[in-house]
Structures are given as structure tokens and as C-alpha cells.
Amino acid sequence: MRPLHSQTGGMADKTLADLSENMREIDIAMLSTHSKGGNIAGRPMSNNGEVEYDGTSYYFTYEAAHTVGEIEADPKVSLAFMGQKGFSVAVEGKARLSRDKAQMKDHWSKDLDKWFKNGIDTPDIVMIQVDATRVHYWDGEDEGEVKL
């Protein structure tokens, strides 16, 4: 099995702004939480490419989703982004849940209307905020970590 980076590839010095530009092209992120039994549970979430990634990201779900209970039990989560040409990002972070409509409005995009018929007024909608504690990336033969 070939490694994702070569021995000649080195640590790159990308900034969060550099990563943000590439992350805009990624439509789906995988959000992973810890389930009741201690297993890792992952699910695809819409990545809002209109928002500049600054170490905090926002996702929307329903109150009844397993994700909500899992975050309440253990807020440590991870996000995985897979882009084009060997570009990928792994984020470790802490999740918070918000049911505040004003906060939701600040992070809403029209693309979300296909999942939430009444927008932020959809019954039982919950916003997940993930604050990154570690961001590791791979870009072709370069890899590195962004300090937060």
C-alpha cells in the first residue's frame, strides 16, 4: 500500500486561510461522534462552501438524530474533508449544540432548504457548532498541521 505522502514530501506551511479556500470546493464533510457503546459513529453533513473556514464550522440536524445525544454525552468530535487531487483535512474539535434561531440565521445558506423545508423555523432543528482544536491536512505530497 502506497502512503498518502512520499518520503520526499515534507511538512508544508499552509495557513487556515489557505485551507479554507480549498475546503470551499468540498460539498460533504464526515462528522464523527462517540456512540453510547463507545464506537465511532460517522455521518455525512453538508459543508457550507459559502462560509470561510476559520476553525469553526456549523452543521444542522434534527433534535431526534443520534448525533445530538452523542454530542451531549461526549462533545469530542472529528470532521473529515476529502477534496480533489489528494487534498484532505482532518479536524479534531469540540461540538456545541444551539437551538437559538438568531445564531442559526447567521450560519444558514439557501442550500440547506432542501433538507429543512421551513428553514430555521423547521420544528426540532438543531445547529451543531464544531470548534477545531487540531487541523491536519494533506495536499498532494505536502502535509502539515495548522496551529490554532
The tally of CA atoms less than 13 A away on the side-chain side of residue 68 is 13
The tally of CA atoms less than 13 A away on the side-chain side of residue 128 is 30
Q: Output the domain CATH number for residue 41.
A: 2.30.110.10
Distance, in Å, from the CA atom of 109 to the CA atom of 130, rounded to the nearest integer, reads: 17
Distance, in Å, from the CA atom of 120 to the CA atom of 126, rounded to the nearest integer, reads: 9
CB 78 within 8 A of CB 59: no
2 domain-assigned: no
Distance, in Å, from the CA atom of 70 to the CA atom of 134, rounded to the nearest integer, reads: 20
Q: Vertex 90, ends 88 and 94: CA angle to 5°?
A: 150
pLDDT tens across the length of the chain (148 residues): 334 443 334 455 788 888 888 888 888 899 999 998 889 999 999 876 656 788 899 999 999 999 999 999 999 999 999 988 889 999 999 999 999 999 999 999 888 898 999 999 999 999 999 999 999 999 988 889 987 8
Range of the domain at 46: 16-140
Model confidence, pTM: 0.85
- Domain tally for the chain? 1
146 domain-assigned: no
21 domain-assigned: yes
In this structure, how many other beta carbons lie within 10 angstroms of the beta carbon of residue 64? 10
